[in-house]
Amino acid sequence: MTTEATLPSTTSASPTARQVWTRARGVLLGLVILLVAAIAIAAVRSDAQHGSLDPRSVDPNGSRAVAELLADRGVFTRVVTTLDDARNAAGPDTTLLVAAPDLLTDRQQTRLHSAFTNSGGRTVLVAPGIPSVGSLAPGITADPTPSYDSTLPPGCALPAAQRAGTADTGGIRYTTTAPDADSCYLSDGLPTLLRVPALEGDGDTVVVGAPDILHNDRLDEQGNASLALQLLGSRPHLVWYLPSLSDNSATDAGDRSFFDLIPSGWLWGSLQLFIAAALAALWRARRLGPLVPERLPVAIRASETVEGRARLYRKSNARDRAAAALRSTTRTRLAPLVGLSPSQAHAPEALLPALSARLHGDGQSSPHSLLFGPPPRDDAALIHLADQLDALEREVRRP
């Protein structure tokens, strides 16, 4: 290994604070812009949806006005946000309004339907779509094409619809197989309001295709107020169910395992990815023939390689590794000179006695400390060690 008697001064390669800021300011600026945009979008969307269909909200999309009008008529409104409260409230003197049926999971829909199906009360589902209407109102199907008209005439014999007249029910359209259902507010032949009597008792289920008749800013238009009061005021108690994502029942998987909760499409997609990865591994691992040696395009001198490795050792202050490399190479060269095999070159009990017999005893340092000693403390000690190892090898080679 080539060494130098003096170590040149080195410059720190660590970047300064100014350099770090210069490199990172573009990324930080982009993150700040994304964060501000996300906050602005969230604020705008939350403002638009704040208090939607909430009987405590006075926002345009809230329903405080309906609750106040019902209170004037002696109908008490209670807001619940959990499935258990909604199920426990079902009864013959109660109207249960589900504000956002599509937010309920399949298990929640099944449990809710079993609670009110024969309770004798009324259940009002506000704009249930394909994900929920089949479970909450069996026999009713949501049409994938919505109504293009918002304001529609009654078009049925339901007393509540006849008294209310034209109302803003246009939204989701429905079809039903129930023979005694009241189909009202037709749009292109399909109703946007359905009333289906229960199989047992005096209860019924009302499906409304749009929430407009409950909004504060639409209540005084058409016959919206009359229709809303009649649908929700038929019983003395009104339970207003606002599904919440914080409800523990939303995460209740029942007896299903983790894999049962994963959609089948994801499982098949994962299987296809696994097969594709296995085929790619087989393709890349296949050998078309034996390896063909190839000459290097550039011949690098051994001295340059040694010098480059030495500079790497010095840059990382790896004096222990450099000393170990020097001692190992020296032991490997000394072993055949003293009649030992290469496998015995690194065994002190074999190398040191044979080496002592070849030394002339002219003040040379202890072979044990030179060949198997501790790493040097600094660069000067490393250079001194290299000189002593070189002198030791010359001494053994001398006849």
What does the pLDDT look like over 46-72, one tens digit per residue? 544 457 899 999 999 999 999 999 999
pLDDT score of 6 more than 50: no
- Overall average pLDDT of the 367-375 stretch: 88
Most confident of 251-255, 263-267, 372-376: 372-376
Residues in Cβ contact with 374 at an 8 Å cutoff, skipping those fewer than 6 apart: none
Whole-number pLDDT of residue 358: 79
Whole-number pLDDT of residue 221: 92
Pairwise CA distance, residues 346 & 331, whole Å: 7
Whole-number pLDDT of residue 181: 92
**Burial class for 247, CB neighbours closer than 10 Å (0-12, 13-18, 19+):** buried
pTM for this predicted structure? 0.55
Whole-number pLDDT of residue 47: 47
Range in 78-87, 287-296, 356-365 with the lowest mean pLDDT: 356-365
Q: Where are the alpha helices (DSSP H) in the chain?
A: 17-49, 64-72, 83-89, 106-116, 130-136, 159-164, 224-232, 258-261, 264-285, 302-315, 319-337, 348-356, 367-372, 379-397
User: Helices (H) and strands (E) in the chain — how many of each?
Assistant: 14, 9
Pairwise CA distance, residues 6 & 379, whole Å: 9
Whole-number pLDDT of residue 260: 64
Range in 4-18, 46-60, 64-78, 245-259 with the lowest mean pLDDT: 4-18
Nearest CA to 254 out of 87, 106, 107, 105 is that of 107
Nearest CA to 240 out of 106, 86, 11, 353 is that of 86
Whole-number pLDDT of residue 3: 42
Pairwise CA distance, residues 120 & 204, whole Å: 7
pLDDT score of 350 more than 90: no
